């Protein structure tokens, strides 16, 4: 039982490059989320998908786009990476708003 | 905008000591979750509390949900080095808003 799987685990980008972070869950959860974690800032919500076919902005959506490809997969895209996007990114999924939350192990992204 | 504040931000104690971590909200929340995160890993859910005044125990960890549903605490008895990590509280308020996370308490238990 893999839970929530994120790829890649580490990535270094140059300013202006683009990339997509992949996330897949095997728990048949309806909702999926992307958070970023920065020192002293806690976890901040970037985008979320309450159910397949819907996406909504979170607290810090600027510079990101998302795609809910199907019920299992939710990707996060950086079109033109900036140093301010250096962070650890976590994907999560939940059965419902309050229950069954699970997190991936994170993607550590450095933009130089 | 809901604010969730955790205190203390950092805590370093000796093995065997007791400690309490606090989580306070600017607004009433519907439920609250506590997570522990180890370096290089994602947060792992410890407990969810939903009823005002509720107390839950998980081995040496005791979680309490305030009567007014605006605060919660995590108490660890006889801390062990394996308890070292980042402890995060996260609240669900209402409507279609996902969990809001506090900034965390970084605990270090020294053997």
Q: What is the pLDDT of residues A61-81, one digit of tens each?
A: 999 999 999 999 999 999 999
Residue B105 C-alpha, separation from nearest chain A C-alpha, in angstroms: 10
Do the chains contact at B103 and A40, CB–CB below 8 Å? yes
Q: Which of A42, A56, A99 sits opposite B104 (nearest CB)?
A: A42
Do the chains contact at A98 and B30, CB–CB below 8 Å? yes
Residue of B nearest to A34 (CA): B98
Strands (E), A1-96: 4-7, 10-13, 19-25, 31-38, 42-49, 56-57, 64-68, 74-78, 87-94
Residue B51 has pLDDT above 70, yes or no: yes
DSSP single-letter state for residue A38: E
Question: What confidence tier does B36 reach under pLDDT thresholds 50, 70, 90?
Answer: very high
Q: Which of residues 13-52 of A touch B (CB under 8 A)?
A: 31, 33, 35, 40-45, 48, 50
Question: What confidence tier does B98 reach under pLDDT thresholds 50, 70, 90?
Answer: confident
Residue B37 C-alpha, separation from nearest chain A C-alpha, in angstroms: 10
| Nearby residues of A29 by Cβ (< 8 Å), 6 or more positions away | A93, A94, A95, A100, A102
Rounded mean pLDDT of A6-11?
96
Q: Which of B30, B42, B100 sits opposite A90 (nearest CB)?
A: B42
Do the chains contact at A106 and B30, CB–CB below 8 Å? no
Rounded mean pLDDT of B1-8?
85
Phi, psi for residue B41 in degrees, rounded to 5? -125, 165
Give the integer Cα–Cα distance in Å for B55 and B74: 10
Question: What is the predicted pLDDT for the residue at A7?
Answer: 95
Rounded to 5°, the CA angle A47-A49-A50 comes to 130
Residue B1 has pLDDT above 80, yes or no: no
Counting residues of chain A whose pLDDT is more than 90, the rounded percentage is: 84
Cis peptide bond upstream of B30, omega within 30: no
Residue A112 has pLDDT above 90, yes or no: yes
Do the chains contact at B43 and A42, CB–CB below 8 Å? no
Beta strands B100-101 and B105-110, pairing class: unpaired
pLDDT tens readout for residues A30-58: 999 999 999 888 899 999 999 899 999 99
Residue A99 has pLDDT above 80, yes or no: no
Residue A25 has pLDDT above 90, yes or no: yes
* Greatest CA separation for chain B: 45
| Nearby residues of B59 by Cβ (< 8 Å), 6 or more positions away | none
Residue A9 has pLDDT above 90, yes or no: yes
Mutate to test the interface with A, among B3, B98, B104 (most CBs of A within 10 A): B98
Counting residues of chain A whose pLDDT is more than 70, the rounded percentage is: 96
Asked whether B44 and B37 are in contact (CB, 8 A), the reply is: yes
Question: What confidence tier does B2 reach under pLDDT thresholds 50, 70, 90?
Answer: low
Beta strands B105-110 and B10-14, pairing class: parallel
Question: What confidence tier does B29 reach under pLDDT thresholds 50, 70, 90?
Answer: confident
Q: Alpha helices, DSSP H only, in B1-111?
A: none
| Nearby residues of A42 by Cβ (< 8 Å), 6 or more positions away | B88, B101, B102, B103, B104
Question: What confidence tier does B95 reach under pLDDT thresholds 50, 70, 90?
Answer: low
Rounded mean pLDDT of B87-108?
88
């Amino acid at each position: 039982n893999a839970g929530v799987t994120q790829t890649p685990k580490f990535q270094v980008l140059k300013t202006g490059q683009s990339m997509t972070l992949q996330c897949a869950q095997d728990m048949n959860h309806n909702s999926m989320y992307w958070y970023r974690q920065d020192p002293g800032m806690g976890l901040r919500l970037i985008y979320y998908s309450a159910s397949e076919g819907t996406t909504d902005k979170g607290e810090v959506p600027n510079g990101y786009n998302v795609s809910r490809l199907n019920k299992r997969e939710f990707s996060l895209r950086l079109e033109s990476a900036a140093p301010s996007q250096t962070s650890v990114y976590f994907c999560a999924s939940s059965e419902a708003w309050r229950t069954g939350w699970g997190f991936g192990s994170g993607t550590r992204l450095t933009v130089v | 905008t809901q604010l969730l504040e955790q205190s203390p931000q950092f805590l370093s104690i000796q093995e065997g000591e007791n400690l309490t971590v606090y989580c306070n909200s600017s607004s009433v929340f519907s439920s609250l979750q506590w997570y522990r995160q180890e370096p290089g890993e994602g947060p792992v859910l410890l407990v969810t509390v939903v009823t005002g005044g509720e107390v839950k125990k998980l081995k040496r960890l005791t979680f309490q949900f305030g009567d007014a549903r605006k605060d919660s605490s995590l108490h660890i008895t006889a801390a062990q080095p394996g308890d070292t990590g980042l402890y995060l509280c996260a609240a669900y308020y209402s409507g279609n808003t996902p969990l809001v996370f506090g900034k965390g308490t970084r605990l270090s238990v020294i053997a």
